[in-house]
Amino acid sequence: MTQPVPIRRPRVWRVLDAFCCIGGAARGYQRAGFHVTGVDVRPMPDYCGDRFVQGDAIEFIRAHGHEFDFIHTSPPCQGEGAPAKGTNAARNKAIGRQYPKLIAPTRGALETTGRPYVMENVAGSGVRKDLRLCGEMFGLGVLMHRYFELGGWATARPAHPAHRGYVRGWRHGVYRDGPYVAAYGKGGGKATTEEIRWAKGIDWSSDHFNLREALPPAYTEFIGRAFRLSLRELPAGAGVAA
């Protein structure tokens, strides 16, 4: 009598994508072999992940973060970069403009989960600078330097290649052409919707604002693959959801 042969199904790795926007990060993790659940306080009809939850990202991390194998977070960066803290600081103060400071509370929520995580932000932010990625590392049409705090795991830092030229646009009254586009703001030679889609490798949305905010998928594909490789050096079951 023939005995049934048990079929071993490949493990599904689960990522929580907090502050997900349209899913630039999600698409990269999908390419690295993860099932991705996104959370954002705003509705995101263009979200490309496998599941979307509208709600407070920090509250969701505290309530459900432990259910995932890995957590990616991209807290808002508008108040963290050089313009907000330098160039635009006086104007923001004069008009009463304030930005949420969510890095510390996000870190606090992440640390309650016991799960490995990454928290992404800009150069002037309070994230620990464990990893820096640049579009030139992946042959993209945008530089978009971003820094990543790694919690509960580590990976080698890739070499930062020389840039091939200028970011196209006006700077201090001088227009320069170059191989990269400025994927932020409008005017002054800033990138159009189609240019941002091309430069970041995002083809599922045409929302100019959200395209500007989104991470290039190449960044998180790199991070997702690096995390999975790192598990070979961890004790069995460490930091992995049951």
Domains of the chain plus CATH, in order, are 13-154+215-233 (3.40.50.150)
Judge whether residue 237 has pLDDT over 90.
no
Q: What is the pLDDT of residues 108-151, one digit of tens each?
A: 999 999 999 999 999 989 999 999 999 999 999 999 999 999 99
| Residues ≥6 apart with Cβ < 8 Å to 155 | 131, 223, 226, 227, 229, 230
Give the Cα separation of 17 and 36 in Å (integer).
7
What is the per-residue pLDDT for 77? 72
CA angle 144, 51, 148 (to 5 degrees): 30
Pick from 225, 204, 214: nearest CA to 120: 214
Q: What is the DSSP letter of 237?
A: T
What is the per-residue pLDDT for 11? 78
Q: What is the pLDDT of residues 11-58, one digit of tens each?
A: 789 999 999 999 999 999 999 999 999 999 999 999 999 999 999 999
Q: Are residues 202 and 183 in contact, defined by beta-carbon separation less than 8 angstroms?
A: no
Q: What is the pLDDT of residues 79-103, one digit of tens each?
A: 555 554 455 445 645 565 566 789 9
